[in-house]
Amino acid sequence: MEKKPQNTAGDRNKNPAPQGSKWPDKTIIRYITRALVLLIIFAWALVNLDVVLRFLGKVLALFTPFLIGGAIAFLINVVLRPLECCWNKVCRKAPAKLVRPVCLTASTVLVLGILFAVVFMMIPSLRESGEEFVQNIPLYVEEIGRWWTGVVQFAAKYNIVLPEYTIDSDLLIEKLTALISDEGSGILTVTWGAAISVLSVLVDVLLGLVFALYLLAKKEVVAAHLKKLVVTVLPQKKAQRLLSIASLTNQTFTNFVSGQLTEAVIIGVLCFFGMLILGIPYAGAVSAFVAVTALVPIFGAWIGGGLGAFLILLAEPGKALWFILFLLVLQQVEGNLIYPKVVGKSVGLPGLLVLMAVTIGGEAFGILGMLFSVPVCAVLYSLYLEFMKKASARH
């Protein structure tokens, strides 16, 4: 057997230690430097939190029209895609150049038309209900007086003395009319002032709508440029991963919006026919409002139902109680059957996680958190399942 040659001192000097064993290591120094810089920036931001928040507010204000435009474009695109598919099936002989302009115009008109229809249905109904309530005040006062007289007589049997009931219905009508229409302090004046204060928001919405229409008209070109930018800037693996997550996010949000719109239509139709059967007034306006607010997951229909109950209460207080009972039954059907099957199934999210996402999102970010918490949670849940699948495959 041949003996292996032993390493001499000269050989050890010729074979230096691996580079990774040298100190200080450049990579470690670089990481430590970045961590220190980030820590200093974070500490400065905490000390000057007001300045940072003002700066972020100004930056957000600059990009608000584009963010609103992106949201509008996404919403219209949910309607645009099926319309283009129908156009391609029905109008095969039509010029290809007409597909996008015609379908985009129809989608925009349909979405904006529904929103304006709901608004213009609710405002006249609210005004009519308020006028009817003022006219019926003498009847309400008389009924309350009879009820209170019965209560006083019942209490007198047990030697309980209650104060007498005295309400001047004419004075009450005068006060309510002044509250509604008085100049400078009335509800209409305050409402008009609030409308003027949101003028800047309307301007942002209009700019966002223009931006959304441009995005939708050139969405394939914009998507191709963004994809090229990602592939150029990032390494191949990271770029593919980012594009995969973006595709998953887009599909999840699309499924969520489609499911939410389907659920809103279902609950609106059920509310409309139920109110007609029970003889509850303002069936069309209240059902449309309930359907629109149902876009907010789980709790949205309660918001619309509360406003609808207030509207009915002004006109016919007795019917308001029936509407609340009917809404309780409708919410049970919506929460246990419609929402888990339509929305939860569309995003691939269990019902328990849907409830948790809506609750946490609402507590953290209000109405917007309730709107977007479900699809965000669905994306995270899908990434979690993918991670667990890869981890189990390694083992």
Task: Copy the structure tokens of residue 108.
Answer: 């925009």
Whether 26 maps to a domain, the answer reads no
**CB contact at 8 A, 55 and 87:** no
> For 193-244, how does the pLDDT look when each residue is reduced to its tens digit (9 = 90+)?
445 555 667 777 788 888 888 888 888 888 888 889 888 888 888 888 888 8
Side chain identity at residue 2, one-letter code: E
pLDDT tops 70 at residue 4: no
DSSP letters along 60-92, please? Answer: HHHHHHHHHHHHHHHHHHHHHHHHHHHHHHH-T
169-189 CB burial, b ≥16 within 10 A, e <16:
eeeeeeeeeeebeeeeeeeee
Kindly report the length of the chain: 395
Nearest Cα residue to 81 out of 107, 51, 101, 55: 107
Q: What pLDDT, on the 0 to 100 scale, is given for residue 351?
A: 65
Same domain, 160 and 256: no
Same domain, 233 and 186: no
Same domain, 256 and 154: no
What's the rounded Cα separation, in Å, for the pair 53 and 63? Answer: 15
Strand spans (E) along 280-372: none
For the chain, report the end-to-end CA distance as a whole number of angstroms: 42
Q: Find the domain containing 280 and state its range.
A: 226-395
Whether 302 maps to a domain, the answer reads yes
Q: Any idea what DSSP says for residue 165?
A: P
Q: What pLDDT, on the 0 to 100 scale, is given for residue 184?
A: 45
Q: Which of 150, 167, 192 is the last residue of a domain?
A: 192
Q: How many domains does the chain have?
A: 2
Same domain, 386 and 248: yes
What mean pLDDT do residues 74-91 have?
84
pTM: 0.62
Same domain, 355 and 258: yes
> For 141-158, how does the pLDDT look when each residue is reduced to its tens digit (9 = 90+)?
677 777 777 777 777 777
Same domain, 185 and 284: no
Q: How many CB atoms lie within 10 A of CB 199?
A: 9
What's the rounded Cα separation, in Å, for the pair 181 and 192? Answer: 11
Same domain, 235 and 379: yes
Q: Any idea what DSSP says for residue 343?
A: I
Whether 98 maps to a domain, the answer reads no
What's the rounded Cα separation, in Å, for the pair 264 and 118? Answer: 13
Q: Which of 192, 218, 235 is the last residue of a domain?
A: 192
- What residues have CB less than 8 Å from 374, skipping those under 6 apart? 256, 297, 343, 347, 349, 354, 357, 358, 361
Cα angle for residues 55, 58, 62 (degrees, 5° grid):
140
Q: Any idea what DSSP says for residue 336?
A: I
**CB contact at 8 A, 216 and 74:** no
- Cβ contacts of 29-33, under 8 Å, gap ≥ 24: none
pLDDT tops 50 at residue 266: yes
Q: Find out whether the peptide bond into 24 is cis, omega within 30 degrees of 0.
A: yes
Which residue in this structure is represented by tokens 């095969």? 92
User: pLDDT grade, residue 188 (50/70/90)?
Assistant: very low
Same domain, 257 and 140: no
Side chain identity at residue 121, one-letter code: M
Same domain, 180 and 232: no
Tally: H helices and E strands in the chain = 16, 0
Same domain, 380 and 250: yes
CA 342 to each of CA 164, 215, 292, 331, 372: distance values in angstroms, whole numbers, following the listed order: 56, 29, 16, 15, 17
Side chain identity at residue 120, one-letter code: F
**CB contact at 8 A, 102 and 87:** yes
> For 100-140, how does the pLDDT look when each residue is reduced to its tens digit (9 = 90+)?
888 888 888 888 887 777 667 666 666 666 666 667 667 76
pLDDT tops 60 at residue 22: no
Please give the mean pLDDT across all residues of the chain.
75
Whether 267 maps to a domain, the answer reads yes
Task: Copy the structure tokens of residue 238.
Answer: 């990271």
CA 379 to each of CA 239, 294, 375: distance values in angstroms, whole numbers, following the listed order: 18, 22, 6
Same domain, 179 and 302: no
Side chain identity at residue 213, one-letter code: L
Cα 234 → chain centroid: 32
Same domain, 267 and 311: yes
Whether 240 maps to a domain, the answer reads yes
Whether 153 maps to a domain, the answer reads yes
